[in-house]
Amino acid sequence: MLERLPELERRLEELSAQMADPAVAADPSRYRELARAYKDLEPVVLKYREWREAARLHEQADRMAAEDSDPALRALAREEAAELAGRVSGLEAQIKRLLLPSDPNDEKNVVLEIRAGTGGDEASLFASEILRMYTRYAERRRWGLESLSLSTSGVGGVKEAILLVSGDRVYSRLKFESGVHRVQRVPATEASGRIHTSAVTVAVLPEAEDVEVAIDEGKDLRIDTFCSSGPGGQSVNTTYSAVRVTHLPTGLVVSCQDEKSWHKNKAKALKVLRSRLLDQKRREQQEAQASARRGLIGSGDRSEKIRTYNFPQSRVTDHRIGLTVHQLPAVLDGALDPVLDALETHYETERLQEEARAAS
């Protein structure tokens, strides 16, 4: 892997020169293409330059440790060489991770779906807390949030919430969150103090672009309109603004009634439908190829338990990697980075091991 680095450095320099060309600057499409390639290459090249300088200093310290006539200076040189050897090794590991083939969806926005599962009212209340957790995390990262659909329960919980989360590498960060999130706690309505277990399902779907999912609206879709229901003001139940879109080839159904405009509800429903179709296509490809990514998030089956939030012990446990953190209030307030960092490191390590086995 490291043998490719000088070539990548030359390529970065070529891209920089091309972007400085006035003719390229006058062509926005071409400039964006080059800028995207530059952005992808820059982190690994900068890390390579850092590694090269550390390796040069390590070689210099090694030579001093072997050749200097002053015992005190030799001892200092040996100490510095050992420190630099650790730095070189750490930088090599970082570079290898950066050189791993990236998921083509990593740069995409996501459609985030949250649904109350088993547990009745308690599940819907926990779904509202999971919704707040991701909302707070998105705010911390300065991502954009757009509600595509929201269905609430009578106790103030959430039956279903669908959001569009947009920003820098959103899918890359959230892609391991799909699955069942389980909560263990004493519900507020529980008089005897017994701990109940409820569940919420989360689906993280890369946002689909029109060119990725071909839909013939005339042949593939049935679009029904109906009156909105639930909270929403005087216009609720008086205009047929709610939309139900059925994708006839697959049977997938998406409803949206958040907006007072039929056209806006239709646009939101189509956005969700495209992402679900893209996700379905991706899953079928994974099944056919027995892809390594299936090992990262399982089959993606909604019944797969990935994480438990235990309130009595203030504990969050991710079952896929055996990680436990005793910071439940912070995690539910959006401090997800310790969990997501550990997941990313774990699966990157697995991929590095697979690369090493394939190369040997």
| Spans of all domains in the chain | 2-99, 110-211+309-351, 217-284
Whose CA is closest to 227, among 216, 239, 218? Answer: 239
Query: Which one has a higher pLDDT value, 339 or 226?
Result: 339
Give the mean model confidence (pLDDT) for residues 336-349.
91
Helix 71-99 vs helix 28-67: crossing angle, to nearest 10: 150
85-123 per-position pLDDT tens digit: 999 999 988 888 888 777 788 888 999 999 999 888 899
CA dist., res. 222 & res. 243, Å (int): 10
Lowest mean pLDDT among 94-103, 173-182, 241-250: 94-103
pLDDT tier at 207, thresholds 50, 70, 90: confident
Whose CA is closest to 126, among 326, 340, 332? Answer: 332
| CATH 3.30.160.20 describes domain 217-284 | yes
CA dist., res. 299 & res. 287, Å (int): 8
190-202 per-position pLDDT tens digit: 767 788 999 999 9
CA dist., res. 34 & res. 263, Å (int): 36
Stated pTM of the model? 0.66
Whose CA is closest to 242, among 218, 224, 222, 230? Answer: 224
Q: Which CATH class is domain 110-211+309-351?
A: alpha beta
**What pLDDT was estimated at residue 91?**
92
pLDDT tier at 313, thresholds 50, 70, 90: very high
**What pLDDT was estimated at residue 285?**
65
Structural contact between residues 179 and 122, judged by C-beta atoms closer than 8 angstroms:
no
CA dist., res. 1 & res. 95, Å (int): 9
